[in-house]
Amino acid sequence: MRVLKRAKIIFNNGFSTFDCVVRNVSATGALLTLAESAHMPKEFQIKIGDDPVRPARLVYRRTMFAGVRYSDIPGEDEEPGDGGRDTKLAGSPQIVTSQADYQPVAPGASMDIEKIRPVQLPLAVRVNLPWA
């Protein structure tokens, strides 16, 4: 629904805020207009008009527009932009986000750690870099 409402982005544990304008609002998120120089954190709280404060997550940012999705709605477990698809690559490392996700490795087991090796930049790139 198209609206023009004042809103406040709240982040940094409530110690940082800035104002914005809500252009569109729906049950799942909103389209915000804000200063191009304003830094948008990935996760924050938003207070739109007289509504209560809601947790939200940044979905996209284009110049002065930002699309946000409310974090307190059901079915919010997929990452923004993946459309619910499983985007894990085979053999890619898993990131442990909590103590419950941690699985210890048995002693002597192979962990397949790949060493990072430096690679020389292509000539077209090196020509334009003053330090290369």
Look at residue 86 in the predicted model and tell me its pLDDT: 45
Positive or negative torsion for Cα 61, 66, 72, 74: negative
Helices (H) and strands (E) in the chain, counts: 1, 6
CB within 8 Å of 101: residues ≥ 6 apart: 94
Look at residue 98 in the predicted model and tell me its pLDDT: 53
| pTM (two decimals) | 0.55
Please give the Cα distance from 67 to 53 (Å, whole number): 17
Q: How far is CA 116 from CA 23, 113, 119, in A?
A: 46, 9, 9
- One pLDDT digit (tens) per residue for the chain, 132 residues: 888 999 999 999 999 999 999 999 999 999 999 998 888 899 999 999 999 999 999 999 998 999 999 999 876 455 444 444 444 444 445 554 555 555 666 666 665 667 777 777 778 777 877 765
Taking alpha carbons only, the member of 38, 89, 46 closest to residue 71 is 46
Please give the Cα distance from 50 to 78 (Å, whole number): 29
Answer yes or no: CATH 2.40.10.220 is held by domain 2-70: yes
Please give the Cα distance from 56 to 78 (Å, whole number): 14
Look at residue 105 in the predicted model and tell me its pLDDT: 61
